[in-house]
Structure 1
Amino acid sequence: MYISTVTLATLVIIPVLLKIFAPYFWEDVFYLKELVRILLTFVSRRKRRPLFLAVDRFIEQSALHPNRTFILFENKSYSYQDADKESNKIANALRSHACSQSGETVALFMRNEPTFMFTWLALAKLGCPVAFLNHNIRSKSLLHCFSCCDAKVLIAAVDLEDALTEIKTALEEKGVCVFIMTKECNTPQFISFTDKVESASDLPVCRSLRSQITFKSPAVYIYTSGTTGLPKAAMVSQTRLLAALAVLASNGVTAGDVIYLNLPLYHTAGFLIGFIGTIETGSSIVLRRKFSASQFWDECRKYNVTVIQYIGEVIRYLCNTPKKQNDKDHKVRLAIGNGLRTDVWRKFLNRFGNIQIREFYASTEGNVGFVNYIGKIGAIGRVNLFHKTLFPYALIKYDTERDEPMRNAKGLCIKAPKGETGLLVSKITDIAPFVGYANNQQQTEKKRLRNVFKNGDLYFNSGDLLRIDSENFIYFQDRVGDTFRWKGENVATTEVSDIVTMIDFVEEANVYGVQVPGHEGRIGMAAITITKGKELDCKNMFSHVASYLPAYAQPRFIRIQNCVEVTGTFKQMKKTLVEEGFNPTLVTDPLFFLDDKDKSYVPMTEDIFQAIVCGNIKL
């Protein structure tokens, strides 16, 4: 009787104690269990021979569930078998007509469409690494991105043919074979490809064509803007792609889910999470060319969508749409993404219902990530000992004025105490490698941080400032260096500055991001000096930035200065400029605003400023 009473009391007391002292105990246990399951699955696949790659998982799914819907796109449906056969046709057409061999890098220049997915599957079956070119870039940036991946074949959508004609001469000089997805090509030296695909066989591609691949081989190149220079091609290895299969499954997505994919496929989120993650689960994808706030929920209802992807801006746009009585009338149960602001998070849940938010932290080239599996509003993840053992990381003190980590008398970095903001660094190991950027050793080395906690150690420098609270939740604070983020895109200020200073009347340009009330991230602004004897030509300035830069990277505000202020080491000073922003009452220098309607930069007035702040002028 005594033992029974003690046992009963223990059973009552333990849950109470856990609730008080470890409120997230069971969530942590279930998450760690999932981590172990993912790790065991990954290790098991790594041991398979011949090598088991992400594309092999797709081939498995198409064999197991040939008639299951894979892609829904503009009222057209493609089964797993359809995708398999179509990718076989593309692969066989490439083998017959391409001027390169299996295993060589191919660049893909397309918008969101099923052909993007079919072409990647085809190239993966051939063992070819694929470089995803951002369909927004043009001219110098486009040629740079293509060149740095050493591709000899470029496959493009027909609606992007004009962009390629701008760099046609340079492509010819490089001996590049350009295929356009059309039956008849209008540009000399470009080759029509759709007709060749239609006449090709849909028989499976021989697995031996990818026998040269190792797990360290490049699978895809995804471009990311860094702190300086033009976009860099981050190499995603076959191992990383294999690991990416688990992203959706680890968040509870199953074969019965329908995933709404409106993020760009050339980005990490759209490709690795939306596309590759779906291959693992055998789910269905509703693919959109681009995000539309006005059509989002109607399409979710139409297709019975259960899982959505987001970046912070997507959720904010949805919250800014006019309220409707059927806002909560949908089947969406899960939202996966990053960059969600705390106030927008709450507003989204209150308006659209009890949707589970899985906010995460990761970067294309990085070697560590976090997941907010608890659902704590505002957090990007939760830290635990098991995760830290597998992927050693730390937050270190960072001097934002000197733009470098703080170091002690021994020259080693200093850990930031819990509750304080610090720079995230992650140890480079065999399990958590940092491969770097294609043909860009200088930028690769900049992301490596040496002698962090002991002489000779090597860490990946994330460039992100984070904070861990007393409950072990981790929060994003800011970015260091010269990169800002707008419309879900990273913008390298040096790249924008290089473009702006190409104009003959601009002597110098100091580009930075400024905050706009009610908006995620920072929007581009440029403080410029005018060349002696010249004057600002507002329409020419507009035409120039519109021709060379995608919309998200175009400076929306111009500030005219007599000289660009620099530090003692000749670094451009941005801090004061960022703080003053584009408010004409605070800034005595002439200010201009990019007006899309007038196709010109117009003088910034108090009325324009107030219209922007109030949201009456859309940015």
Structure 2
Amino acid sequence: MLLSWLTGLGAGIVFLHFVQKLLFPYFWDDFWFLLKVVRHGIRLEMYKQRGELVTVLDKFLSRVQRRPQKPFIIYEGDIYTYQDVDKTSSRVAHVFLNHSSLKKGDTVALLMSNEPDFVHVWFGLAKLGCVVAFLNSNIRSNSLLNCIRTCGPAALVVGADLLETIEEILPSLPKDINVWGMKDSVPQGIISLKEKLSTSSEEPVPRRHHVVSSLKSTWLYIFTSGTTGLPKAAVISQLQALRGSAGLWAFGCTADDIIYITLPLYHSSGSLLGIAGCIELGATCVLKKKFSASQFWSDCKKYNVTVFQYIGELCRYLCKQPKREGEKDHRVRLAVGNGIRSDVWRQFLDRFGNIKMCELYGATEANISFMNHTGKIGAVGRTNFFYKLFFTFDLIKYNFQKDEPMRNKQNWCSHVKKGEPGLLISRVHAKNPFFGYAGSYKHTKNKLLFDVFKKGDIYFNTGDLMVQDQENFLYFWDRIGDTFRWKGENVATTEVADVIGMLDFIQETNVYGVAVSGYEGKAGMASIILKPNKSLDLEKVYEQIVTSLPVYAYPRFLRIQEKMETTGTFKLLKYQLVEEGFNPLKISDPLYFMDNLKKSYVPLTKELYDQIMLGEIKF
């Protein structure tokens, strides 16, 4: 009897397992991943219930106490332990305590390249309870000035290699901003932070300076190009920083991992997922000043790297490198990042070995993110019943001609069917807030949709089109509106148009992104109307662009039109222009291509077009 019962039970279990594999093949992957996410949330809630509001900085100080001699940062062969970074950041804090009027809650802007001092200054200011604003080290002139004014800093700290950039705008900076330089000899009007560090105390800074009363308080400003022109300062709360720091852990990284960071620290990927992620684990990171495709694998072997961060372009660059012997001879087991195309993903694995690609999705300021925990090629994440209990998101129908969400006769938005592209939106509520941007509320309001499915509901508009397949995997489809992505950066089209529009022979400029064979994202293109009786000066256009914009924002193509189509509200139409691209055989308007050797734009001939499409001309 017992034997018969056990046999039946065993058969039942085998049958259920078969049914689960057939109908719910990802059930256990989903279950264990979600359990991990819930555990992290419970841990944060337990800290809160005990009255302990633990921040990323607190976690760093805890690592210092537990393993002071553990390497934290390896940079150009030099090792900086957790204790080293703690002591140097305390020196930074004491300089500002003794030589400035900075107080808790003040904002300090940070303009630095990837280097240990970026972390030293960041954490030193955090120990004083200051809000640190990360400035994009690529931007110049008016864009940089706008970013500084937007976050309203009391001080600005500049890396040694970027002092010339600040010198250009120094006379235009608000008079109440003190500028500090990480160099012994600094230009007039700038204070040498490095000189004062040599005599500063490395004693611990009292916790009262940085203790927080709420995890919703602001910790950082990270600039992001949105759909309304110049870069905006996204508010990063202590809570968002903690969530971001859990990414590496959620994908299975441990304290024994050595993580290679080549992405810029002024972005949330490098600073929160990378640096803060290492702190969450108690791991070591190898920090690179700038990504180098030729040095990438030799660095990985030299430093025994086990995990690296990527963007899609990075993986494509590696695949384009000449093949060498021993390319699979490394210890890398995981790669965490976003934006890798399916074809590059497959090529990367075939060439460099069995590396688990951990693709994720999330914008700096967004209240929604996805993680592809199953490794499904091409997907940015996966949703299921459990996920939607915690994160309310929807994919809604979008009108590409009008460049806005579709509304029915009752003025409600509609869901797309599975397999159809839809605008990704995420519900905003107390448990899943959107913290918005510094400055005018209009910037925050522009990223929100109101009365979407019912009166009074509010959703965050990601500006991204996604597709959900029958198995509930999510795929990035395209970016909408006045922003496109190139070289891993968001390009605000209105900012580029404003720069070109300063030329006295330009009447109207419409900037958009176009797909280029073999490249991630979209390259910039500008459609231009000339003023009556004015001629086009291609050299002046080139000069204006290279002196006023970061490299990734340069329009690679120009199109000269006689008139431009607009919407009923006089907004320039881009959809048709994007579809037409830059093919001279299909476009009768004059087309030009950016030629850096000639320092001008040159006519885009069929021969030049073919070279671009064959990958013979590099961008």
TM-score in terms of structure 1 length: 0.98
Amino acid aligned to 1:122: G
State how far apart, in whole Å, the 1-side matches of 2:567 and 2:463 are: 21
Residue 137 (1) aligns with residue 142 (2): no
| 1:169-248 pair list within 5 angstroms | 169-171=171-173, 173-185=174-186, 187-211=187-211, 213-248=213-248
SS of alignment partner, residue 417 of structure 2: coil
| 1:127-526 pair list within 5 angstroms | 127-171=129-173, 173-185=174-186, 187-211=187-211, 213-526=213-526
Cα offsets for 1:506-564 (capped at 9, x unmatched): 11111110110011110001011122332222222111100100011011111111223
State how far apart, in whole Å, the 1-side matches of 2:291 and 2:368 are: 28
Task: Work out whether residues 260 and 305 of structure 2, in 8 Å CA contact, stay in contact via their aligned partners in 1.
Answer: yes
Equivalent residue for 2:60?
A: 58
SS of alignment partner, residue 349 of structure 2: helix
Residue 611 (1) aligns with residue 588 (2): no
Task: Work out whether residues 112 and 287 of structure 1, in 8 Å CA contact, stay in contact via their aligned partners in 2.
Answer: yes
- List gaps (5 residues or longer) in structure 1: none
**Which of 14, 18, 26 is the aligned partner of 1:12?**
14
The structural deviation recorded for 1:601 is 1.1
Task: Work out whether residues 155 and 177 of structure 2, in 8 Å CA contact, stay in contact via their aligned partners in 1.
Answer: yes
Amino acid aligned to 2:297: W
Cα offsets for 1:458-486 (capped at 9, x unmatched): 11111111111111111111111111100
SS of alignment partner, residue 332 of structure 1: coil
The structural deviation recorded for 1:48 is 4.5
Structure 1 stretches of at least 4 aligned residues deviating more than 4 Å after TM superposition: none
Amino acid aligned to 2:418: K
The structural deviation recorded for 1:259 is 0.3
Task: Work out whether residues 53 and 212 of structure 2, in 8 Å CA contact, stay in contact via their aligned partners in 1.
Answer: no
Amino acid aligned to 2:109: A
State how far apart, in whole Å, the 2-side matches of 1:603 and 1:345 are: 35
SS of alignment partner, residue 299 of structure 1: helix
Task: Work out whether residues 585 and 606 of structure 1, in 8 Å CA contact, stay in contact via their aligned partners in 2.
Answer: yes
State how far apart, in whole Å, the 2-side matches of 1:486 and 1:48 are: 45
RMSD (CA atoms): 1.3
The structural deviation recorded for 1:134 is 0.4
Equivalent residue for 2:127?
A: 125
SS of alignment partner, residue 507 of structure 2: strand
Amino acid aligned to 2:526: A
State how far apart, in whole Å, the 2-side matches of 1:426 and 1:405 are: 14
The structural deviation recorded for 1:325 is 2.1
- List gaps (5 residues or longer) in structure 2: none
State how far apart, in whole Å, the 2-side matches of 1:182 and 1:106 are: 18
Residue 107 (1) aligns with residue 109 (2): yes
Amino acid aligned to 2:243: A
The structural deviation recorded for 1:272 is 1.0
State how far apart, in whole Å, the 1-side matches of 2:244 and 2:573 are: 39
Task: Work out whether residues 509 and 564 of structure 1, in 8 Å CA contact, stay in contact via their aligned partners in 2.
Answer: no
Cα offsets for 1:122-145 (capped at 9, x unmatched): 111111111000011111000100
Amino acid aligned to 2:220: V
Amino acid aligned to 1:476: F
Task: Work out whether residues 86 and 202 of structure 1, in 8 Å CA contact, stay in contact via their aligned partners in 2.
Answer: yes
Equivalent residue for 2:29?
A: 27
- Larger mean Cα displacement after TM superposition, 428-437 or 206-215: 206-215
The structural deviation recorded for 1:213 is 4.8
The structural deviation recorded for 1:103 is 2.3
The structural deviation recorded for 1:58 is 0.2
State how far apart, in whole Å, the 2-side matches of 1:239 and 1:39 are: 11
The structural deviation recorded for 1:180 is 0.4
State how far apart, in whole Å, the 1-side matches of 2:54 and 2:566 are: 53
Cα offsets for 1:321-371 (capped at 9, x unmatched): 111221111110001011111111111111111111111111111101111
Aligned length: 617
Task: Work out whether residues 228 and 494 of structure 1, in 8 Å CA contact, stay in contact via their aligned partners in 2.
Answer: yes
Cα 1:179–1:48 change in 2 (3 A) is farther
Task: Work out whether residues 103 and 212 of structure 1, in 8 Å CA contact, stay in contact via their aligned partners in 2.
Answer: no
State how far apart, in whole Å, the 2-side matches of 1:470 and 1:20 are: 14
Cα offsets for 1:253-299 (capped at 9, x unmatched): 11110000000000011111011111110111110011111111110
State how far apart, in whole Å, the 2-side matches of 1:579 and 1:564 are: 15
Amino acid aligned to 1:178: V
Task: Work out whether residues 315 and 348 of structure 1, in 8 Å CA contact, stay in contact via their aligned partners in 2.
Answer: yes
Task: Work out whether residues 245 and 274 of structure 2, in 8 Å CA contact, stay in contact via their aligned partners in 1.
Answer: no
State how far apart, in whole Å, the 2-side matches of 1:278 and 1:212 are: 22
Task: Work out whether residues 517 and 613 of structure 2, in 8 Å CA contact, stay in contact via their aligned partners in 1.
Answer: yes
State how far apart, in whole Å, the 2-side matches of 1:50 and 1:89 are: 26
Amino acid aligned to 1:88: S
SS of alignment partner, residue 484 of structure 1: strand
State how far apart, in whole Å, the 2-side matches of 1:453 and 1:81 are: 52
Cα offsets for 1:53-77 (capped at 9, x unmatched): 1100000001111111111111111
SS of alignment partner, residue 167 of structure 1: helix
Task: Work out whether residues 57 and 280 of structure 1, in 8 Å CA contact, stay in contact via their aligned partners in 2.
Answer: yes
Equivalent residue for 2:90?
A: 88
Cα offsets for 1:179-206 (capped at 9, x unmatched): 0001121x22111110101110000001
State how far apart, in whole Å, the 2-side matches of 1:452 and 1:473 are: 24
- Larger mean Cα displacement after TM superposition, 569-578 or 454-463: 569-578
Task: Work out whether residues 255 and 281 of structure 2, in 8 Å CA contact, stay in contact via their aligned partners in 1.
Answer: yes
Equivalent residue for 1:76?
A: 78
TM-score in terms of structure 2 length: 0.98
Question: Aligned residues: percent identity?
Answer: 49
State how far apart, in whole Å, the 2-side matches of 1:358 and 1:440 are: 36
The structural deviation recorded for 1:446 is 1.2
SS of alignment partner, residue 77 of structure 1: strand
- Larger mean Cα displacement after TM superposition, 34-43 or 513-522: 34-43
The structural deviation recorded for 1:212 is 5.7
